[in-house]
Amino acid sequence: MTGISKFVVVVSALAIGAGVAFAGDAVKERKELMKTVGKSTKLAAQMVKGQQPFDGGKAADAMMAIAAVPDKYITLFPEGTDMKSNPDTEASPKIWSDMDGFKKAVAQLKTDSTAAAEAAKQGEGAFKAAFGALVKNCKSCHQDYRIKKQ
Ligand code: HEC
């Protein structure tokens, strides 16, 4: 092997290594973000169900925590990070075959969580209605774009 081809082999091996590491990070990071969404949703759901007292400020904060997720979230789906290529993810291949639809669903999460944060400041009744609309996003996106493991 000549010096130059050895160099090329080493560089491409490094590039592949970096690619894999990045894909793993993206999966980890997007799961963390969804966990944040899950926690905030749970807190708000407890208030809505009367399992803890309604607190408009806390509810608004929880909704803002969700609203902060979508812009970052949508950048964390590089090619090769669906559930067929990565055992750690539940991301359906449909995300990549229908990226426009997925982007819309991510944007809707931002719209509805922002609206719920506003509603939280208006009081419990307004918040309940807005939160009801928000949680529909979870179900529909998970149905379309997540394949839950057993
Ligand atoms: C735009 C699509 C979309 C919306 C909206 C959405 N999710 Fe998700 N969610 C996903 C996808 C995709 C995964 C799987 C991600 C992965 O495994 O890489 C997921 C995974 C999760 C997980 C598991 C995270 C983990 O530990 O691996 C939780 C919890 C979750 N979502 C909660 C929620 C809640 C609560 C809502 C509504 C407030 C919501 N999600 C709205 C797409 C969405």
Please write the tens of the pLDDT for every residue from 46-101.
999 999 999 999 999 999 999 999 999 999 999 999 998 888 999 999 999 999 99
Long-range contacts of 14-20 (CB under 8 A, 24+ apart): 19/80
Site to probe by mutation for ligand 1, drawn from 138, 139, 147 as the one with most ligand atoms within 8 Å of Cβ, is 138
Predicted pLDDT at 95: 98
Predicted pLDDT at 10: 58
Burial 124-148 (b: 16+ CB within 10 A, else e): bebbbebbeebeebeeebeeebbee
Band the pLDDT of 19: cuts 50, 70, 90: low
Band the pLDDT of 4: cuts 50, 70, 90: low
CA distance 138 to 105: 9
Distance from the CA of 47 to the center of ligand 1, in angstroms? 21
Place of tokens 């905030």: 40
Band the pLDDT of 149: cuts 50, 70, 90: confident
Predicted pLDDT at 144: 98
CA distance 90 to 88: 7
Two tokens, residue 16: 């592949």
The radius of gyration of the chain's CA atoms, rounded to the nearest angstrom, is 20
Mean pLDDT of the chain: 91
Distance from the CA of 142 to the center of ligand 1, in angstroms? 6
Residues in contact with 8: Cβ distance below 8 Å, sequence separation at least 6, in sequence order: none
Give the position, in ligand 1's atom list, of the atom nearest the Cα of 108.
5
Two tokens, residue 141: 């996106």
